[in-house]
């Protein structure tokens, strides 16, 4: 049995509230929030110079990490590599994300994540399928040759996966699915989001009415909000219950635009942070391949060779720095967007986004937005 340790001098975010003047006591691997006045003399005291303790990040859009892409090799080895990379970046729960690919790769991804969940690979709590049922006109970095409409076989496979996996998030464009298919997937337990779509306001609104719950990476790869055509952006902001992911790297969306979205989505449908991380996350590689195309890493940005944005060179700590320092959001709310808010969208959050019962689920964010574990503080 190790000697209990108490950490003071840092703020504490418990998943809902930002607390000041509290101590984090770790005894037998279990972290507890206590007033410093209750600490006994037998506890080893560690004084920190600011920073915040909080639950590990929850990321619903992770395409790769540690030098590998999930699309390249949808298997346990690849998933374990990605999980380790994002764990070092502070993420404790995430959805591996398969970008538009062949039917065979989709089936393999479902099988790989099912196996990873059964084996208890740390951090993996489900699957995000971003495509292939999207719009070619808003494809972004997705391969247009692989984009297609959803058919009955696809819907049946995805419904079965939704019933099996703890969490299945599916990004679709309303142009490539029917309202009935959205309802079927929702009834099976899938979380249906809209994205990579050029649909008009009315079509998006109908998709939300059919059971879609939100929008993938708001503002990016979708019909925009204009004066007479609100598009998918306008439909998302206008639908109170619709949630939306946001890539807050200061590149994909301007801070002023983020502030407008936050003001519009102050109700139950909340904005949450995603990294849209690619193979370079947690690695020093400068390029990699996606569906046979080269992705270049330069200046905190990932692009195809033609300059098209291709995912993000982002981790959650950097997204928080942008939200707090550039957007100007209160710290407590920004932390929730990286933890408890995305966790609340999951069918089976498995404790993600809440104050953890084990120190492995706890992270410490330094004043300059670096992530450390409890073990690294002593």
In this model, does residue 266 exceed pLDDT 90? Answer: no
Q: What is the pLDDT of residue 291?
A: 84
Instruction: List C-alpha distances in Å: 212 to 29, 186, 192.
Output: 40, 7, 5
By the 8 A CB rule, do 176 and 149 touch?
yes
Beta pairing partners, 170: 129, 192
H helix and E strand count, the chain: 10, 22
Cβ count near 151 (within 10 Å): 12
Q: Which of 313, 168, 172 is nearest to 247 (CA)?
A: 313
Residue 334 in this model has a pLDDT that exceeds 60? yes
Convert the pLDDT of each residue in 160-187 to its tens digit: 999 999 999 999 999 999 999 999 999 9
User: Both ends of the chain: CA-CA distance in Å?
Assistant: 17
Residue 255 contacts residue 249 (beta carbons within 8 Å): no
For domain 57-344, give its CATH number from 3.20.20.140, 3.30.70.2740, 3.40.50.10470, 3.40.50.1360.
Answer: 3.20.20.140
Q: What is the pLDDT of residues 107-118, one digit of tens each?
A: 999 999 999 999
Give the whole-angstrom CA distance, residue 110 versus residue 74. Answer: 9
Its pTM surpasses 0.95: yes
- CATH T-level topology, domain 5-54+358-377: Urease, subunit C; domain 1 (2.30.40)
Contact status, residue 66 vs residue 82, Cβ threshold 8 Å: yes
Q: What pLDDT sits at residue 3? A: 81
Is the pLDDT at 214 greater than 60? The verdict is yes
**Domain boundaries along the sequence of the chain:** 5-54+358-377, 57-344
Which has the minimum average pLDDT: 43-47, 125-129, 220-224, 340-344? 43-47
- Which residues are annotated as catalytic? 276
Specify the pLDDT at position 42.
81
Tokens of 323: 């939200």
Question: What per-residue confidence (pLDDT) applies to 227?
Answer: 97
Q: Angle 271-277-283 (CA atoms, 0-180°, nearest 5)?
A: 145
Mind listing the pLDDT tens digit for each residue in 77-124?
999 999 999 999 999 999 999 999 999 999 999 999 999 999 999 999
> What percentage of the chain has pLDDT greater than the value 90?
94
**Angle CA(49)–CA(92)–CA(71) in degrees, nearest 5?**
130
């Amino acid at each position: 049995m190790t000697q209990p340790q108490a950490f003071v001098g840092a703020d504490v975010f418990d998943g809902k509230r930002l607390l000041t003047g509290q101590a984090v006591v770790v005894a037998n691997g279990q972290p507890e929030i206590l007033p410093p006045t209750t600490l006994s003399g037998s506890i080893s005291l560690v004084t920190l110079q600011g920073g915040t303790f909080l639950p590990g990040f929850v990321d619903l859009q992770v395409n790769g990490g540690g030098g590998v892409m999930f699309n390249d090799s949808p298997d346990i080895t690849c998933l374990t590599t990605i999980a380790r990379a994002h764990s070092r970046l502070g993420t404790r729960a995430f959805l591996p994300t398969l970008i538009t690919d062949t039917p065979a790769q989709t089936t393999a991804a479902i099988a790989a994540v099912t196996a990873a969940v059964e084996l208890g690979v740390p951090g993996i709590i489900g699957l995000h399928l971003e495509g292939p049922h999207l719009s070619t006109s808003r494809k972004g970095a997705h391969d247009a040759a692989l984009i297609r409409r959803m058919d009955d076989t696809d819907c049946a496979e995805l419904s079965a996966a939704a019933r099996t996996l703890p969490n299945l998030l599916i990004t679709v464009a309303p142009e490539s699915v029917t309202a009935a298919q959205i309802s079927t997937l929702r009834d099976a337990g899938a979380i249906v989001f809209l994205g990579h779509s050029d649909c008009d306001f009315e079509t998006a609104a109908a998709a939300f009415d059919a059971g879609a719950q939100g929008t993938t990476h708001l503002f990016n790869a979708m019909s925009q909000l204009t004066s007479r055509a609100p598009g998918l952006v306008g439909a998302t902001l206008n639908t109170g219950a619709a949630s939306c992911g946001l890539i807050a790297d200061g590149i994909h969306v301007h801070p002023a635009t983020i502030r407008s979205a936050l003001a519009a989505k102050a109700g139950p449908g909340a904005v949450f942070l995603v990294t849209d991380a690619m193979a370079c996350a947690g690695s020093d590689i400068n390029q990699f391949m996606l569906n046979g195309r080269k992705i270049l890493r330069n200046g905190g940005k990932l692009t195809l060779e033609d300059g098209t944005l291709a995912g993000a060179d982002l981790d959650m700590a950097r997204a928080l720095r942008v939200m707090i320092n550039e957007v100007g959001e209160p710290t407590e709310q920004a932390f929730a967007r990286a933890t408890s808010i995305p966790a609340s969208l999951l069918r089976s959050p498995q404790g993600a986004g809440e104050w953890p019962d084990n120190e492995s689920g706890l992270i410490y964010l330094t004043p300059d937005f670096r992530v450390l574990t409890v073990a690294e503080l002593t």
